[in-house]
Structure 1
Amino acid sequence: MEFIKQIERLQLLNKLVREKRTGSPEELAGRIGVSRAKLYLILEELKDEGICIRFSKKLNSFTYENCEGLQLGFSFKVLEATEEISINAGKFFTFFPVSNILDGSKLS
C-alpha cells in the first residue's frame, strides 16, 4: 500500500535527520528509496507544513531548522459490522442525494 510506504519513508527521513546522519542529498534519497528530485519535493511539502529541513555542508547532513523532529504514527484496524454501526451511530450515509430526472421520475 502506497500510503504505508509514504509513512515509513517519513519515519526514516525523520530518524536520519534527527540523528544528523543523512549524508548527501543523493545518499538520503537512496536510503529512503526515492529520486533526488522526489526528495526535494518531499522536503518542499514538509516546508509548506511549517517543517524546515536544510542541508548542512559542515555536517554533511540535513538538519531541522525550526524544530527537533516529527512525531509520526498511524494505526490500521479492520472493523466488524457492529463497530462500524457504532462509529456511524447506526446511520447510513448516502453521498448521492435523490434527484429528479427531467421527466419527473426519481433517481436514487
Structure 2
Amino acid sequence: MEFIRQIERLQQLTKLVREQRTGSPEEFGERLGVSRRQLYAYLEYLKDHGIDIIYSRKINSFIFSNDKELEIVFKFQILGEENSRDIFGGKNLKNIFPCYFYARSDSKLAS
C-alpha cells in the first residue's frame, strides 16, 4: 500500500502547488507528512521529469515555474479473465489479483 500512499502524496503536492497555498518548506513538508529533506527529494524527482517547482518568498508558496503541471491519474480496475490473459501474455497466473496502476504527466500550457 506504500505505492498508493506515494500517489496520494504526489496528488496532494500538485494540488497545493497549483493553488499556491503550500506555505514554507517546513509547513509544506508537514502537510505532506514528510520531512523537509524528503520534500526536496520529491521536488528534485519531479524536476528530473521536466516539472520545475520553485519556492516564492513573495507569496510564501511553491509554484510551477515552467508552465508545466503534473496530472496524476490513479485508476483501480478489476479485470476479467480475457483482459488478464492479455496483460500476462496468455499465461494463467494463479493467486494474482488482476489490476494495474498507472501515473501520467502532461504538460499544460499557460492560458
SS of equivalent to 1:55:
strand
2:83, 2:53 → 1: CA distance?
Answer: 41
Task: Please give the root-mean-square deviation of Cα atoms over the aligned residues, in Å.
Answer: 2.0
- CA drift of 1:80 comes to 3.9
Structure 2: which 5+ runs fail to align?
94-111
C-alpha deviation, 1:29, in angstroms: 0.2
Q: Do the aligned partners of 2:51 and 2:68 also contact (CA within 8 Å) in 1?
A: no
Corresponding residue of 1:105: none
**AA matched with 1:2:** E
- SS of the residue 1:4 aligns to: helix
1:88 Cα deviation after fit:
4.3
Normalised to the residue count of structure 1, the TM-score between the two structures is 0.76
Higher relative contact order (CA 8 A, sep 6+): 2
* 4+ runs deviating over 6 angstroms: none
Distance 1:81 1:41, change over 3 A: same
Name the amino acid aligned to 1:33. G
Unaligned stretches of 5+ residues in structure 1: 94-108
What per-residue deviation string (whole Å, max 9, x for no partner) do you get for residues 23-62 of structure 1?
0000000001101000000000000001000000000000
**Rounded Cα–Cα distance in structure 2 between residues aligned with 1:43 and 1:89:** 36
Report how many residues are paired: 93
Amino acid at match of 1:14: T
Aligned-partner Cα distance in 1 for 2:72–2:85: 29
TM-score (norm 2): 0.74
Letter in 2 for 1:27: E
Q: In structure 1, how many angstroms separate the alpha carbons of the residues matched to 2:6 and 2:35?
A: 14
Aligned twin of 2:32? 32
TM superposition shift of 1:70: 1.4
Pairing of 1:1-108 with structure 2 (within 5 A): 1-88=1-88, 90-91=90-91
Q: Report percent identity of matched pairs.
A: 55
Q: Determine which structure has more spread, i.e. the larger CA radius of gyration.
A: 1
